[in-house]
Structure 1
Amino acid sequence: MFELHWPAAFLLLPLPWLLRWLLPSAPVRSAALQVDFLQRLGQLPTSVSSMPLTRRRWFFVLVWLLLILASSRPQWLGDPLPISISGRDMMLAIDLSGSMEYEDMRLDGEQVPRMTVVKKLVSDFIAQREGDRIGLILFGSSAYVQAPLTHDLQSLDEWVDEAFVGLAGRETAIGDAIGLAIKRLVAEPAESRVLILITDGANTAGQITPLRAARFAASEGIRIFTIGVGASADQSLTSGIQDPSINLDEGTLIDVALASDGEYFRARNSADIQQIYQRIEALEPALRDSSPRRQARPLYPWPLGLAMLISLVIASVAVYRRRHAV
């Protein structure tokens, strides 16, 4: 579909004629020098005005029309693009410490390690955040950024799937993970500063305590949602372990969430995982842009290029006739 992005440019169309009408005419000066061979000079061929004046005027009119058309930014609109989702920039921090390999949870009726359930949670969450920018932090004994904030959610999902227990060490540096997320989020708009931290243990490594990092996050307007992973004692599926989540420091995770105006969730089974996902989606909804968009292909280079070509031809003809006038 053809469209003029700035149709108001056509209001400039009468400008040359308006200026010609308003501005005074150039004064006509009589010749100050009389020569005896003036009659012979009058018999020489003219240099530039050999082209009829009316024809030259139409060329100038055409150039002006092409310039106005180019200024109106003509464009060809393609098929409608999918409605974009915009708004949230968030970081995901995933615990890869040694305890994440405990097989104390069920997924689709099968006994699986905690890490498998976490990957399922994160994968489903990412799939529903199309249009948002999400970054990924992996932490164990230390924390590092696996992916900066990106719209490429497919690649992000692949990086989550490729993560494995022990990749960042066997301990748990929760405070360092929060601190690293703050560095990545502090430059983002205030309404987009969100961190989702998933862990199954207590802070056993790192340079900063989780609560101190959470207070600093709160001062920067960053909200932290914490998720504690692991089955409870009565749900334990792991032989020889009475309470597989005994090392889960829920008190600290709750304090971290409250200090940053976030919320704490407990993931004991796959049903909890689904409820957590729905709750986070309600707390941090994707902001949808309701205005439809189309892919626009600009067409202004064509009239602009044609105007330049015609102007070049007129100038070249004038120079050629001037040089061969005598």
Structure 2
Amino acid sequence: MSAPAPAQATPLVSPALGVFAAWSTARLTEVEAALEAALPQQAPAELGAAMRYAVLDGGKRLRPLLVWAAAEAVAGASLGPASHEAARRCACAVELIHAYSLVHDDLPCMDNDVLRRGKPTAHVRFGEATALLAGDALQALAFEQVLGLAQATETAALAARLGLCLAQASGHQGMAGGQAIDLAAVGRQLNLAELEDMHRRKTGALLRASVQMGALAGGADAAALAALTRYGAALGLAFQVIDDVLDVVADSATLGKTAGKDAAADKPTFVSLLGLDGARAYALALQQQAQAALHEGALPAPQTLHALADWVLQRSN
């Protein structure tokens, strides 16, 4: 595409989103309870404590909300028991994968960051070795959540499909591959296509997978899944463009992480390539592309996904 000229999860609410507030709060309550139940109270040494520290203390929970919204978009506002259970497990899984990626990204061998979600990063709090193991364990726990659906014959095929989707978003085709490109790009100026490719993998892949997994949990047909995949791809890239903007214009207290670190590390960003105004215009074009995909899909209940796309552009952290 060519570029156009903190102790608890915070509900994704802004004055412009009105009715979205109650929906977001209800889904976040269920997600927090499910994560609390899934994470171990006891594990060898400080492993359990490090896992819980990385997951339970804050975060926007956008990925779980995308799962819920996509499931409801294809099934209607009310999910049946089996779809609800699948969506709940997927919502936990994508947040656990996201948390693991943050723990590893913050390590000294990666981005070497000391602040995440307004508190010391996991390796600062627990040491590098425990943080590394906590990330590994969170990744395994994510797949345990999804593959738990395989215990029932009627959802075994769905579990396999969901597990494949999550694996592809997490591995060399997705997050891990994007992080490898990111590390190799320090000090280089990428062109727009290269920058898009990096962030469609590093950030966008899991956001897109969250939408896809929710759609599958809700029983999406091929046409709905294709439309929601387009939505997720555009939204995932828009999220990263806004992240690059906020890294420049917001402070660390607002972001809950170190502001200005991309420029300090000489990393290529959408702002460094397009400028602030250009990056904002690019994000708006991607948001409109995402919302157009919802209309193309003729979904029964796309309103919440539409509101989430609005929030991505309006967010302040």
TM-score by length of 2: 0.25
TM-score by length of 1: 0.25
Larger Rg: 1
Bigger proportion of residues as strand? 1
Bigger proportion of residues as helix? 2
